[in-house]
Structure 1
C-alpha cells in the first residue's frame, strides 16, 4: 500500500468503526432497559422474557443443532427466491428501460401486478403449487422482482441523453452501449433496487414459512408460539432482523466499492 494512502485508509476504518458503534447505542440501550424492567418485574416475563432468558433459549437451540438447521433452510429459500426474482427484475427492467415498445407492452401489466398484495395471492400459490418448496421460493421471487425491476427501469431512463450522443460518435454497438454506458449510469438505482429486493425477499420468507412450512426460522416461530415459548419466538424475530441487516450492510459495502467514481457519492 502506498504510504500516502495509509492515513486515509486508517481514517476511513476509524470512521466505519465509529458509525458501527454509534448505530449500536440505541439497540444496546433498549436491551439494557428491557433487562432492568424484567428484573424489577415491571413487564410480564411470559410476554416479554428478559434478554438474558432469550439468550439462554438461543444457546439451547444452538447447542442442539436445531437453530442452525432452520437457519440454513431459511437462508437457502431467501437466496434462491431472490436469485430468480432479482435476475428477472434486472433483465426485464433493462429491456423495458431501453425500449419504448417493450415498455408499452409490459409495463402496464407489471405495474398492475405490483399493486396486488402478496398476502392476497398466497392462497393461490398454495392451490397451484401446494405446501412444498416451490410455492415458497416463487412467493419470495415475486416479492424480490418488483423493487429491482422498478429501480432498474428508472435508472436506465435517468441516463443523460448526451451520453448516447457521445456513444454514437464513438460508434459503440448496442451491447457496448449497455455495458459501458447504461449499466454504469444506472448502477446507483440498480444497487438501491438490490437493497430493497433483498429486504423484500427476507420479508416474503416470513410469509412463505408461516403459511405451512415444516422447517425454517418462520416454522420455528410458529411452533414456539403454539407452545407459548415466547423466548424462542424472540430468537426467531431477532434472527430475521439481524440477517436482514447483514444483507443490507453487504449491499452498502458494494455501493462503497462500486460508486467511488461518482462525484456526489458520500459513502
Structure 2
C-alpha cells in the first residue's frame, strides 16, 4: 500500500492577514484633505495684526496626517495587528475628527463666520500652548497636587468611615443621620465657611475636595460591607478567625467592587470642586487659569486649558480603572470606561 505525502495547506501571507477597516483608509484621506484645506485655502483677514503660528499649525497637522499614514502602511505591510487595533476601532472617530476640525477651520480662519476673539481658529490654540506653556504647565502641576491631597484624604477617611458604620451597628446609629443630612450638601456651598475656618485658601480647597470624595466613598463602602454574605463570616469563625481578621480579610475584600465605584464617583465629584475652589483665591491651577484667561479675553488660552483639563481628568479616571482591573482581575471588564 503506497503512502501518500501529506502537504500542509498553503498559508496566507502575513500581509494578507491584516485587513484594513475602510473607515481607517477614509480617515487617512480625510486628514490629508484637512491639511490641504489649511494650506491651500487662504485665510480671511481679521483685524489689523497678521495671524501668528500659521506655518507651525500647518506643520503640526501635517505631522499628524503623516504619522497616521505611516502607522497604517507599516501595520499593513508588516502585519502588526496590535499596532493597528486601536486605529481600526477608532477609524470612524478619526474621520469625524478630521471633518469637525475642517469645519472649525473653515468657519473661523477661512470664512470668519464666527466672531473673534470668542471663537478662535486652531492656530490660536497652537499659539496659546506654544507661548504660554509654562504658566499652563505650572497650573496643571498645582491642580494635580491639590487634587491628590484632597482625593487621598477623602478616600482614606471615607473608606474608614464606611467600614466602621458597615461593621458596627452602634456606630452606624450615630453616623448614619449625619451622613444623610450633610452628605448631599454640595461641597462648594461650604466654601465661605471653609475660608473662615482654614488658615489658607489652599487648605480650604483640600478640605472641600476631600469632603466631595468622602461622601460617595463612605456610602458605597458601607453598602459593600453591609451586604457581605453572613456565611463568609460563619466559615471564618469556624476556622478560628477573630474580629480583626473578619474585617480585614473578609469584609474589606468582599466590598472592594463597591469601594471602587465610590472612588470613581468621588474622583468625578472632586474634579468639579477642584475647578470651583481654584477660582476662589488660589494663585495657580487650572480653575485659576480659566478665570485668568477669561478676564484677559484670552479665549484661545481658555479653550486650550479646557482641552488639557479634559485629557488630564480622563487619563486619571483611566488610571483608576486600570488599578481596579488589576486589583479585581476576576471582575475585569464588568465596568467599562
TM over 0.5: yes
Q: Give the C-alpha shift of residue 72 in structure 1.
A: 1.1
| Uncovered stretches (5+) of structure 2, i.e. residues with no partner | 1-79
Kindly provide the CA deviation profile for residues 60-116 of structure 1, in whole angstroms up to 9, marking residues without a partner as x.
112xx2222221111101101111111100110110111111111101102211122
TM-score computed with the length of structure 2 as normaliser = 0.68
Contact residue 225 and residue 233 of structure 1 kept, 8 A: yes
What is the aligned partner in structure 2 of residue 6 from structure 1? none
Check if 1:44 corresponds to 2:110.
no
Larger Rg: 2
Equivalent-residue separation in structure 2 for 1:105 and 1:213 (angstroms):
36
What is the aligned partner in structure 2 of residue 87 from structure 1? 156
Contact residue 153 and residue 210 of structure 2 kept, 8 A: yes
Contact residue 202 and residue 240 of structure 1 kept, 8 A: no
Equivalent-residue separation in structure 1 for 2:84 and 2:329 (angstroms):
19
| Uncovered stretches (5+) of structure 1, i.e. residues with no partner | 1-9
Q: Give the C-alpha shift of residue 55 in structure 1.
A: 2.5
Kindly provide the CA deviation profile for residues 126-162 of structure 1, in whole angstroms up to 9, marking residues without a partner as x.
2222553211111111111111111111111221222
The structure with higher relative contact order (CA 8 Å, sep 6+) is: 1
Q: How many residues end up aligned between the 2 structures?
A: 256
Q: Secondary structure at the match of 1:235?
A: helix
Kindly provide the CA deviation profile for residues 206-250 of structure 1, in whole angstroms up to 9, marking residues without a partner as x.
011101211112111111111100011112222221111111001
Structure 2 vs 1, CA of residues 206 and 96 (structure 1 numbering), >3 Å: closer, same or farther? same
What is the aligned partner in structure 2 of residue 114 from structure 1? 183
Q: Secondary structure at the match of 1:172?
A: coil
- Among 35, 38, 41, the alignment partner of 2:105 is 35
Contact residue 86 and residue 144 of structure 1 kept, 8 A: yes
Equivalent-residue separation in structure 2 for 1:225 and 1:146 (angstroms):
32
What is the aligned partner in structure 2 of residue 125 from structure 1? 194
Equivalent-residue separation in structure 1 for 2:268 and 2:100 (angstroms):
24
Contact residue 325 and residue 332 of structure 2 kept, 8 A: no
Kindly provide the CA deviation profile for residues 22-45 of structure 1, in whole angstroms up to 9, marking residues without a partner as x.
777766664444333323323223
Q: Give the C-alpha shift of residue 172 in structure 1.
A: 1.5
Equivalent-residue separation in structure 1 for 2:238 and 2:254 (angstroms):
18
Equivalent-residue separation in structure 2 for 1:157 and 1:33 (angstroms):
53
What is the aligned partner in structure 1 of residue 283 from structure 2? 214
Structure 2 vs 1, CA of residues 54 and 128 (structure 1 numbering), >3 Å: closer, same or farther? same
What is the aligned partner in structure 2 of residue 161 from structure 1? 230
Equivalent-residue separation in structure 1 for 2:200 and 2:128 (angstroms):
29
- Among 227, 230, 255, the alignment partner of 1:186 is 255
Q: CA RMSD in A?
A: 2.7
Q: Give the C-alpha shift of residue 119 in structure 1.
A: 2.8
- Among 162, 169, 172, the alignment partner of 2:241 is 172
TM-score computed with the length of structure 1 as normaliser = 0.85
Question: Residues 1-267 of structure 1: matches in 2 within 5 Å?
Answer: 30-39=100-109, 40-62=111-133, 65-129=134-198, 131-262=200-331, 265=334
